Amino acid sequence: MNLNDYLMSGHDTMMFYGGILAIILNIGCFLLMHFVPTKKKDPYKFLMKWGRPVDAFIPFCMGLMTESRNIAGDGAIVTRGLCRFLENPWCGRLNFAITLALNNILFGIIFTTGLMRYNVSIRETAIFKTTLLEKFYLFIIVVVSPVALLATSYNLIVVDDNFIHKAKRTV
């Protein structure tokens, strides 16, 4: 075994346990925001609260389901998570594509919350007032970009980790 084999097992361990920790923290934040009310009615709390389950789904897909590693220079990933045990290459491919799309949707939630706070604090206008350019940006972030990612991910190469280890033994 070389140093790379030890580093990859450390990477997989960190992905798995880091994913579990991120899921627990995000769901804990969601439950805390849901059951402990604020003293004032906070209009931003709705987006921040419902962004937590979306944010918890990303480490579930990346840390537990795929435990993915990118292969540098190629449009390929290596999966080692629960998708490997399901023995379905589409499982890893879809989880990776959904994670990429959810990252954009989560960025859209953050963008909207920041815009709402900017409207109230700086512009001193209504909370949901947006310009045409802001509506265009939000449409690109939340709709166009995830659809484009999901539409082009069908040709993503997903390699099972067992395939890599079998190839190392034969060489």
Site of tokens 């959904």: 98
Assigned token pair, 60: 């579930």
User: pLDDT band for position 161 (50/70/90)?
Assistant: low
| Structural domain of 139 | 3-170
Across residues 43-53, what is the average pLDDT?
80
User: pLDDT band for position 7 (50/70/90)?
Assistant: low
103 contact partners, CB below 8 Å, separation of at least 6 = 58
Q: Which amino acid is at 165?
A: H
The answer to whether residue 60 scores a pLDDT higher than 90 is no
Least confident of 76-90, 103-117, 150-164: 150-164
State the total domains in the chain: 1
Q: What is the mean pLDDT of the chain?
A: 75
The answer to whether residue 31 scores a pLDDT higher than 90 is yes
